[in-house]
Structure 1
Amino acid sequence: MTERTRELPMTADQDRFTAETERFRRELLAHCYRMAGSAQDAEDLVQETYLRAWRSYAGFEGRASIRSWLYKIATNVCLTAAQPRRIRVLPSGLSEHYDGPDRPPSHVGPGEVSWLEPLPDRWVADDPAATAVARESLRLALVASLQHLPARQRAIVILRDVLAFSAAETAEVLGTTTAAVKSGLQRARARLDEREPEREQLLEPADPRARALLEGYIAAFERSDPALLEQVLRTDATLEATPFREWYAGRVRCIHVLGTYVLGRPGDWRMSSTTANGQPAAAVYHRDDSGGYHPHGIVVLAPTSTGISRVVEFHDPALVVLFGPPPGSPDEAFE
């Protein structure tokens, strides 16, 4: 139960409500994340979902399953929250890759863009089998593409193609007609195909090849060694990082940017492996002038059988806190 649920007055139905609804919390969190593109927003949306569900629980008559009822509430909470907000994007959602004169990446000003956030895998499943089922629908590229759909189309394609709701069930959730759902789904699929016509087959994070690519990427940073990056990046690899406007395509350009503006000296960086969006990832720490290491952000990799095809770095210390300290290390990681 969340803190907000605990604050509610206890009644005879409280235990039954918890028993019937809590088992869906993780999948509802994944649903809200797909809708909102932010792990922190998803947490708030799920809390609001459970608050509304509790308030209307006495009137739940069981004509639909408890799961469908919760998804109806959660989807409508997400749609209401989406109305005044800008969509969350990655740099690749703003423009074509940068191919101009050599210069440092430029920051996007505060408040100019709402950035997509990664999702810690541990938030959505503690069962590896369940994680595998949800993993494909949480890939970073897909979630980024979903954000470019109108909110109701986003909801339709998630309910139909990810959660396998029927057209009739989806219409019930959204308070619309089956015909409108079918039409919206067709438009949504077409727009997704335009943004990502061929979805890559990524290696699972537990695959030894994926682990080796992550370890190689971490070693390249910790040793400040561009040659190691050449061993793990594909020739057509892309590199993007928030909150920077430019993003880069091609291994040569990516390595040049990282080597010139990022890697620094051996020991400047420390990384701890994790997983995000069903992909290998690392929590990133940077050394300051006094020699101490401080949270810097999260990097998410797209591993394929021929190397890393995409690197997305989220330069936000708060995300390191969100993902939690490295397993087996003290809270003051690397100090």
Structure 2
Amino acid sequence: MGTPEAGVLTEAFEAERRGLFAHAYRMLGAYHEAEDVVQDTYVRALRGWETFERRSSVRTWLYRITTNVCLTAIEGRGRRALASDVRPDDLGALVVEPFPTDPLDLVTARESVRLAFVAGLQHLAPRQRAVLLLREVLAFSAAETAAALDMSVPAVKSALQRARVRLAGAAPTRDDVLDATSPRARGLLARYMAAWEASDATAFREVLRADAAIEPVGSPTSYAGREACLAFATPAMGAAGDWRMVATGANAQPAAVAWFRGELFGVAVLTVTEGGIAAITLFGNPRAAEGFTAA
């Protein structure tokens, strides 16, 4: 595949790689699976390049491949969820993983990768999810979406309508969530990290809204309200210096990679508003911290 035409494919793929990665993440709710899907997309594109008839743009074709690889991956597995979204009969659900984001990355620094939105997407049937993302996030036309998913245009329109209704009931409203790059958001993140590093429960209390929530991902229990959050968190603070944190970005939200007594712990993703921290989503798994760098 060293031909000039193959070079066109490689150039197009590299230009779209980050967008394809974000799309696969939205479909799957899984960072590591999304990485595998992007690699699979390139392999499949190379194999199919000679028979690609240019009935669509290379970009559209690549997203079609990625979407269908995701649909295959979703088949036969449970949906991903966050702690507050786990029902008593759903304890085996896979968990949504955090997605590293750079404040300067225009592909992902937007509403479409916020944790609440990605978790809400997991409520949709796979093809509804694909239709909604292709139409409303990637701005594909109804005809392009129909071709990508081997559906009719009326079927695409019907699936989009159903997806919108279901997502509206599953995903929380944006409320007054701040952009991760705002001074207030950065300040709250800094104060959050300082409170934990100093084992200062009072300082931690001061950054929480009265209705704040802590959601340990993978646990069937979440904690709602400032006092409940403090009751859960204070015993885990340990002594000053037990925790070390580094600022980063996840899902276009402020986040901190955390170490406990020198061992990598995971990632805390904050939902921040002018009134303080509204939610803390805890990914207490070192694997969740893979791919993150300091902000």
Does the alignment reach a TM-score above 0.5? yes
Q: What is the deviation of 1:299?
A: 0.5
Query: In the alignment, residue 203 of structure 1 is paired with which amino acid?
Result: L
Match of residue 148 from structure 2: 173
Look up the SS of the partner of 2:202 in the other structure: helix
Structure 1's 76 and 114: CA in aligned 2 closer, same or farther, altered over 3 A? Answer: same
Match of residue 258 from structure 2: 284
What whole-Å deviation, never above 9, does each CA across 1:161-191 have from its counterpart, x for those lacking one?
A: 1111121111111100111111111111111
Q: Distance in 1 between matches of 2:13 and 2:203?
A: 48
Count of matched residue positions in the alignment of Structure 1 and Structure 2 = 294
Q: Distance in 2 between matches of 1:310 and 1:10?
A: 50
Match of residue 147 from structure 1: 122
Identity %: 46
Match of residue 17 from structure 1: 9
Structure 1's 181 and 300: CA in aligned 2 closer, same or farther, altered over 3 A? Answer: same
On the 8 A contact 2:27/2:70 being kept in 1, the answer is yes
Query: In the alignment, residue 37 of structure 2 is paired with which amino acid?
Result: L
Match of residue 290 from structure 2: 321
Q: Is 1:226 aligned to residue 204 of structure 2?
A: no
Query: In the alignment, residue 24 of structure 1 is paired with which amino acid?
Result: E
Q: Distance in 2 between matches of 1:46 and 1:85?
A: 20
Q: What is the deviation of 1:129?
A: 6.0
Match of residue 300 from structure 1: 269
On the 8 A contact 2:80/2:122 being kept in 1, the answer is yes
Map residues 173-322 of structure 1 onto 2, 5 A cutoff. Answer: 173-196=148-171, 198-260=173-235, 262-287=236-261, 293-322=262-291
Moved beyond 3 Å, runs of 4+: 9-14
Q: Gapped runs of 5+ residues in structure 1?
A: 1-8, 97-107, 288-292, 328-335
Counterpart pick for 1:117 among 78, 87, 97: 97
Aligned-residue Cα RMSD (Å) equals 1.9
Query: How does the TM-score come out when normalised to structure 2?
Result: 0.94
Structure 1's 227 and 95: CA in aligned 2 closer, same or farther, altered over 3 A? Answer: farther
Look up the SS of the partner of 2:237 in the other structure: coil
What whole-Å deviation, never above 9, does each CA across 1:139-160 have from its counterpart, x for those lacking one?
A: 0110011011111111111111
Q: Distance in 2 between matches of 1:128 and 1:19?
A: 22
Q: Gapped runs of 5+ residues in structure 2?
A: none
Q: Distance in 1 between matches of 2:220 and 2:174?
A: 24
Look up the SS of the partner of 2:173 in the other structure: coil
Query: In the alignment, residue 104 of structure 2 is paired with which amino acid?
Result: P
Moved more, 241-250 or 275-284: 241-250
On the 8 A contact 2:255/2:268 being kept in 1, the answer is yes
Look up the SS of the partner of 1:130 in the other structure: coil
Query: In the alignment, residue 245 of structure 2 is paired with which amino acid?
Result: M
